[in-house]
Structure 1
Amino acid sequence: MYKKISLIIPIRNEGSYISECIDSIINFDYPKEFLEAIFVDGVSEDKTVEIIDTYIQKYPYIKVIRNEKKIVPIAMNLGIKASSGEYICRLDAHAKYPKNYIAKLLEWSEKLNADNVGAVCITDTKSQTNTAKAIQFVMSDKFGVGNSLFRVGVNEPLEVDTVPFGFYKKEVFDKIGYYDERLIRAQDLELNKRLKKNSGKIYLIPDVTCIYYPRENYKSFFKNRFETGRWVMLSCYFTNSLKSISIRHMIPLVFSVSLIFSFVLGFITEKFFYIFWFILIGYSSILFFRALSIKKDILLTSNILIGYIVLHFSYGMGSLEGLFEIIIKKIKSKKSI
């Protein structure tokens, strides 16, 4: 028996990606009378909404609603409240999905009696530059993303703490509440941690995949990872709990702080310079030979090493800024008492 499913897709300035995302939805092998696709637009300044409008004329199950505040958790909450499905599936415009994506997620959700299930996320690139290939590699490698299983894959259905683009029973939101609208980033992580805290079951499914397109140049990649690291830390402040993060989220922070402090202290005591170079050369050597053993291309491997450094250092620096912001907020809070 088919169930009504609502797809919620937060968007803003996705003109380069939106057509491929919509084409994926149109090609789903799930009866369209049991499907609605709600695009929540954060006041796009490009042709995103115009492109969607050309599809709406032919596919009435596609809708657009406006998100004046422009941030993802508010978009998700607007979409959920406007939805009519028994299940909520959060999609991303920077991704494309196989034909059986919805049918498979529903099948596994019912089979496992899960509150949320998600697919393995395969990182791909539209560009064939060495920079784009390097970013694709580090975002798919355990040396880049640690034990982020939805990026490196699993062999069997596995109960986990979080998944990308979750497929939720709608009743979950009545039970634990909606997305935390204070969190510009890390809102999915926090929601899933809250779900687990309330005895919810979340599973990563191995035979369902989606393709995700990350940023394809180091500048935008750095900015994206920096903000993610920053908001992972800030989520602890706003939720007043460390339960929204895992050990793997702290490793880039420890790495970045170790480099910065050993370098700065080296001007006081020369021995710290040795520690700095030991960390940097050891880290670089391990990751360079890791990449070379797989790609066997010196130029690409060199770009991959840069990709690792950008990924880890940007995330770590973002986390450090998040910590400083938390300290400042705590000091201001005490002064106001």
Structure 2
Amino acid sequence: MPVLNEERHLREAVDQVLAQQYPGEIEVVLAVGPSQDRTQEVADAIAAADRRVTVVPNPTGRTPNALNAAIAASRNDIVARVDGHAMLPSDYLRVAVETLAETGADNVGGVMAAEGITPFEQAVACAMTSKIGVGAAAFHVGGTAGPADTVYLGVFRRSALARVGGYDEHFQRAQDWEMNHRIRQTGGLVWFQPRMRVSYRPRPNAKALAKQYFHYGRWRRVVSRTHEGTINLRYLAPPAAVLAMLLGLLVSPFFPLALIVPGGYALAIVAGSAVTGSGLPGAAKLRLPLVYATMHCSWGWGFLTSPRKLARPPGQAVRREEPAPRFGE
């Protein structure tokens, strides 16, 4: 579990893991970064109270570094990635291990079931489970079990992690997609299992949501530059929309009809919000157009402005900080 500034949800997230209805041994490794809240104190207290929990440092604060450090400190042949704000259902690990055995997959994962508490979080949760907000990715909107490009979180065979060298610490974001790509490229199978539903707590405000999706877009562009042929129209839609709206605004003083583009987008978002947000409370429904626009524009702008210097040079090996995690042990 990579942990940074997770004081609010950490104890509940760990409790959900320890309470799994799973017949085998469970260990929890928390890789704690330099947080600005009481995360370190909470993590240490949890470990002191339960010998199944171990805390390891992640001085960089970066997610892939934390994951590699936690994997290196773990002992078992199956490794489940869990986030500090993800709430596992009680049968999550049992279903995952059964699915690994039944399918022969190297990694299985399920649905990122976003659930909000405040009106803004409820609006984000709605957008994150809607095709208007995130496209048709099964781990967001659901679907039937089967092979997938990537899945949410993931329960891995340690042998697969050893084969690909773990997470590439070059990728500050999109590290899951990137590693799943390498697993598939080396002959492995990534499997979507809709029975594995994980409750996810969305970002609490527009600023945090914009930052999240800006970095998603920026680092998805890095992945596409590193692994040719991994981009498709779904990923190009947000940057194309941002470019079209910017162009419309720029030429509108000389050609007023160009305002049809940003105006049409705004109308489409309002109409889409009315349909997808029909079951939301009023306060959340009012925030839904802002949420959609924030997600689309932030992702698109991050993709468009992603600097080439972020790309990992072709042929460079998967990067890990020293000492290297001993994935095969």
State if a TM-score over 0.5 links the two structures.
yes
Tell me how far 1:278 sits from its aligned partner: 3.4
Q: Deviations over 1:4-56 (max 9, x none)?
A: xxxxx001111001011011012112246x22111001122321122122222
Is the 1:193–1:243 contact (alpha carbons within 8 Å) kept by the matching residues of 2? no
Aligned-partner SS, 1:121: strand
**Cα distance between partner residues in 2 of 1:233 and 1:216:** 26
State the Cα distance separating 1:271 from its structure 2 match: 3.9
Distance 2:241 2:292 in 1: 12
1:181 paired residue number: 169
| Letter matched to residue 72 of structure 2 | K
**1:277 counterpart (240, 253, 263):** 263
Q: Is residue 25 from structure 1 mapped to residue 17 from structure 2 by the alignment?
A: yes
Unaligned runs of 5+ in 1: 1-8, 331-337
Please state if 1:263 is matched with 2:255: no
Among 66, 89, 98, the residue aligned to 2:80: 89
Which AA in structure 1 matches 2:286? Answer: S
CA RMSD for the aligned pairs?
2.0
Q: How many residues align?
A: 311
Instruction: Tell me: higher relative CO, structure 1 or 2? Use CA pairs within 8 A at least 6 residues apart.
Output: 2
Corresponding residue of 1:230? 218
SS state of the match for residue 104, structure 1? helix
Amino acid at match of 1:141: S
Cα distance, 1:39–1:244 mapped onto 2, change above 3 Å: farther
Question: In the alignment, does 2:43 pair up with 1:52?
Answer: yes
Q: 1:298 to 1:30 in 2, by over 3 A?
A: closer
Structure 1 residue identity aligned to 2:125: Q
Equivalence for 1:4:
none
TM-score by length of 2: 0.88
Contact 1:259 1:280 in 2 (8 A): no
Q: CA deviation at 1:192?
A: 0.7
For residues 195 and 95 of structure 1, what CA distance do their matches in structure 2 show? 24
Partners of 1:187 and 1:220 in 2: CA distance:
20
What's the counterpart of residue 141 of structure 2? 152
Q: Structure 1 residues 11 and 300 mapped into 2: Cα distance closer, same or farther (>3 Å)?
A: closer
The one-letter code of the counterpart of 1:111 is E
Output the TM-score relative to the length of structure 1: 0.86
Structure 2: 5+ residue stretches without partners: 312-329
Query: Which of 160, 163, 179 is 1:191 aligned to?
Result: 179
CA deviation after TM superposition for structure 1 residue 196, in Å: 1.4
Which of 102, 126, 135 in structure 1 is aligned with 2:124? 135
1:121 CA displacement: 1.6
Q: CA deviation at 1:117?
A: 0.2
The alpha-carbon deviation at position 201 of structure 1 amounts to 0.7
What's the CA shift for 1:85? 1.1
2:155 partner letter: F
| Distance in 1 between residues matched to 2:293 and 2:248, nearest whole Å | 17
CA distance in 1, matches of 2:236, 2:179: 19
Confirm or deny that 1:317 pairs with 2:317. Answer: no
Q: Which amino acid aligns with 1:42?
A: G
CA distance in 2, matches of 1:135, 1:176: 34
Choose the corresponding residue for 2:6, options 11, 14, 22. 14
Which residue of the partner structure matches residue 206 of structure 1? Answer: 194
Q: Name the SS for the 2:197 alignment partner.
A: strand
Q: Does 1:290 align with 2:275?
A: yes
Aligned equivalents of 1:73, 1:120: Cα separation in 2 = 21
Give the Cα–Cα distance (whole angstroms) in 2 for the partners of residues 121 and 85 of structure 1: 25
Q: 1:100 to 1:300 in 2, by over 3 A?
A: closer
Structure 1 residues 17 and 246: alpha-carbon distance in aligned structure 2, compared to 1, 3 A threshold: farther
Q: What letter corresponds to residue 301 of structure 1 in structure 2? A: K
Greater alpha carbon shift after TM alignment, 267-276 vs 46-55: 267-276
User: What letter corresponds to residue 177 of structure 2 in structure 1?
Assistant: L
1:329–1:233: structure 2 CA closer, same or farther, 3 Å change rule? closer
Instruction: Give me the whole-angstrom Cα distance separating, in 2, the residues matched to 1:303 and 1:163.
Output: 28
Seq. identity, % = 26
